[in-house]
Amino acid sequence: MRSYSLLAPAKINLYLEIIGDRPDGYHELAMVLQSIDLADRIDLRPIGTDTIRVRCDHPQVPPDKNNLAYRAADLLAKQFPDALARYGGIEIVIHKQIPVAAGLAGGSANAAAVLVGIDLLWELGLTQSELQELGATLGSDVPFCIAGGTALATGRGEKLSPLPDLDGFCVVLAKYRNLSISTAWAYQTYRQKFGSTYCPPEDLECRRERLHSGPMVGAIAHKDRSKIGQLLHNDLEKVALPVYEQVLQLRQAFESVSVLGAMMSGSGPTVFALVESRAAALEVEAKVKSAIALPIWIFG
Ligand code: ATP
C-alpha cells in the first residue's frame, strides 16, 4: 500500500473579532484567515497492526492520544472501522516547522493533513465538505486548514466563506523563541475582561451591529494592499499585549520600519508584518533583527 507525504501549512489571522458568547460555550467570532508557506510535513505510512502511532521530535508536541494528528486518525478509524480492518493502522510522522502554541494553528494544520491523507490512503472518497465537517469536531481551525487560501470564518471559526486569493504580498513572521501563549488563556482572559460587553447569543441585531469585518473583506475583494495593511485587527491583542511585553515590543519594532501593517496572529505570540515585495521583507528582517535577536521567517 502507498505512503503519503503532505504539507500542512500554517495560518495567520488578518482579522479576528470577538462578537459574543455562544450557547455551546465557545466564542462567536469573525475572522479573516490566510494560509502561508510555513508548513509542517506529515508522513503517513501504513503499518501491520491496527493501531495509530505518532512520532514527532519536537519536545512540546505530545506523541500520544493528545496529539491532534492522532485524534484526526482515531476519528476516521472510529467512523470507518471497515477501512481500518482492511488497510490496517497508520504511522504518522510530524516534521515540525511551525512553532508550537504560536497562534499559527500548527496542531489544526496537522489534523487537517491527516484527514486528507487518510482519506487518500484508505480510498474513502470523502468530499472536502465532509472532511471539514469531521474536522470541525476536532478544532475550530481544522475546516479552514483543510481548504487553505483566504477565507472569512464565522461561528466559532468553522463556517467558511472563501475570499479572493491575496497575491503581491510578502509575510514576515517573528516570534520570541521560548515564548508561547495558551489559546485557552487568551480567550478566558478576554471573557473575564470584556464579557460584560458581549452580545447575548439570541440577539442577532446586536451581533450584526458589532460586526466590523466588512471593510477588510471589501479591501481583500478590491486587492487594496495598503487598506488591508491598515485594517489588520485582532481583539486578542487587548489581553496579550499588556501581559506579554515582548509581543508588544515586536509589534512596535515592525511598525517602526516601513510595513503595510503588523499584527499578532491568533492568540499569539507570533507577530506578522505585511510588505509589498521580497526586497522590502529582507529590509524589514535586517532592521528588526538588528534591534531584537530572534527567529524571523519570510514568505511569499
Ligand atoms: P490555535 O491557534 O489553533 O489554538 P496554536 O497555533 O496557538 O493553535 P498549536 O501549535 O496548535 O497552537 O499548539 C497548541 C497546543 O496543542 C500545544 O500545547 C501542543 O502541545 C498541543 N498539540 C497537540 N497536537 C499538536 C500538534 N500536532 N502540533 C502542535 N501542537 C500540538
Using one digit for the tens of pLDDT, what is the confidence trace for 119-171?
999 999 999 999 999 999 999 999 999 999 999 999 999 999 999 998 888 99
pLDDT at 204: 79
**Which whole number is the average pLDDT over 223-238?**
96
User: How far, CA to CA in Å, does 133 sit from each of 117, 144, 149, 189, 223?
Assistant: 16, 11, 18, 29, 30
Ligand 1 pocket member 257 (CB < 6 A) = no
* Contact between residue 261 and residue 232 where contact means Cβ atoms under 8 Å apart: yes
* Contact between residue 13 and residue 32 where contact means Cβ atoms under 8 Å apart: yes
Q: Measuring from atom 27 of ligand 1, which residue has the nearest CA?
A: 107
What SS3 class is residue 211?
A: coil
Mutating to test ligand 1, I would choose from 31, 61, 93, 244 the residue with most ligand atoms within 8 A of its C-beta, which is 61
Q: How confident is the model at residue 202 (pLDDT cuts 50, 70, 90)?
A: confident
By C-alpha distance, which of 128, 53, 112 is closest to 88?
53
> How far, in Å, is the centroid of ligand 1 from the Cα of 246?
21
Q: What is the pLDDT of residues 90-117, one digit of tens each?
A: 999 999 999 999 999 999 999 999 999 9
> How far, in Å, is the centroid of ligand 1 from the Cα of 205?
35
Question: Is 80 exceeded by the pLDDT of residue 237?
Answer: yes
By C-alpha distance, which of 280, 195, 177 is closest to 238?
195
Name the DSSP letter for residue 98.
S
> How far, in Å, is the centroid of ligand 1 from the Cα of 104?
9
User: How far, CA to CA in Å, does 67 sit from each of 130, 139, 182?
Assistant: 22, 12, 16
Exposed (0-12), middle (13-18) or buried (19+): which is 171, by Cβ within 10 Å?
Answer: buried
Ligand 1 pocket member 229 (CB < 6 A) = no
CA 51 to mean position of chain CA atoms: 28
Exposed (0-12), middle (13-18) or buried (19+): which is 49, by Cβ within 10 Å?
Answer: exposed
CA distance 251 to 234: 12
Q: What is the pLDDT of residues 265-276, one digit of tens each?
A: 999 999 999 999
Residues with catalytic roles: 11, 141
pLDDT at 300: 59
Question: Is 70 exceeded by the pLDDT of residue 253?
Answer: yes
To the nearest whole number, what is the mean pLDDT of the chain? 93
| Full set of structural domains in the chain with CATH | 4-162 (3.30.230.10), 170-211+236-299 (3.30.70.890)
By C-alpha distance, which of 233, 282, 223 is closest to 258?
282
pLDDT at 258: 85
What are the DSSP E strand ranges found in 208-251? 233-234
Q: What is the pLDDT of residues 59-97, one digit of tens each?
A: 999 999 999 999 999 999 999 999 999 999 999 999 999
Please give the span between the terminal C-alpha atoms of the chain, in angstroms, as a whole number. Answer: 35
Ligand 1 pocket member 183 (CB < 6 A) = yes
CA distance 142 to 31: 14
pLDDT at 23: 85
Residue in the structure block whose three cell numbers are 510578502: 170
Ligand 1 pocket member 110 (CB < 6 A) = yes
> How far, in Å, is the centroid of ligand 1 from the Cα of 82?
30
